[in-house]
Amino acid sequence: MEVRLNKFLSEAGVTSRRKAEKLILSGKVKVNGKVVTELGTKIDPEKDVVEVEGKVVKPQRKRYIILNKPCCFLTQLGKSQDGRRTIEELIRDIPERVFPVGRLDYNTEGLLLLTNDGELANRVLHPRYKLPKVYLALVEGRVSPKTLKLMKRGTELEDGFAKPDDVRVVRYEGKDTLLEITFHEGRKHIVKRYLASFGHRVKRLKRVALGPIKLGKLSPGKWRELNRGELAQLFKAVGLKYPPKR
């Protein structure tokens, strides 16, 4: 199947799609020995030989990984500007150029999906597929049955109405409450803002599931490959077939 040259270069881990266009325009990319500067060029990854600055580019195998992000790591690749640690150092042993699908806050822990499959990533993030994200939230104060009822109904936040798919008390921990809360939307700081609007500040937040994928017993700071069964479920949840015909 033919793909656009810039898409091939980004999926092969050479660079981002936009920077790949610049590479093409600057005459550094050859297809079957000939310099190509036409941005719309399509190639067949099975047949055509692509070179960047004299080096042959091979298609990357698709990787689908979950990381148990610990507290106090930024969800970004590369170095941060302010010296805070980033998840990059936790995934150094993955040779492919995987990128995080969505974000967790600096101090949020738990399940982060990483992949080099742009199509899957787009769908996981797309509101149309309503993938539920399940969080454990340790909040200040004891959540009363009355407040819990109100939490289930939804409320107006400064950027519009928000309503969790589900919220329940897991247990009380001294003066605090451990809640399990599920949202399918991905607005910034949604869980913290939602719970704070009921007067319960989040002290600790951990994502434990993303659609059919569960964090399970993966240790903080560790990653693992998703297995075929998990991938089949995840692909199905976003309307794709597994294994992908790409």
The CA–CA distances, whole Å, from 210 to 111, 164, 220, 233 equal 7, 14, 17, 11
Q: Which is nearer to ligand URA, 20 or 74 (CB)?
A: 74
Cβ 35 to ligand URA shortest distance, Å: 45
Q: Which is nearer to ligand URA, 9 or 209 (CB)?
A: 209
Cβ 31 to ligand URA shortest distance, Å: 42
> Which residues are annotated as catalytic?
105
Taken in order 93, 96, 97, 102, the sign of the CA dihedral is negative
Token pair belonging to 108: 């949020």
List for the chain the helix, strand, coil content (%; round to 5).
Answer: 25, 30, 45
Token pair belonging to 182: 């599920």
Report the interface residues with ligand URA, using CB under 6 A.
104-105, 108, 189-192, 205
Cβ 194 to ligand URA shortest distance, Å: 8
Cβ 98 to ligand URA shortest distance, Å: 19
Strands (E), the chain: 3-4, 29-31, 34-35, 42-43, 50-52, 55-56, 64-69, 99-100, 108-115, 133-139, 155-157, 160-162, 166-173, 176-183, 202-210, 213-214, 223-225
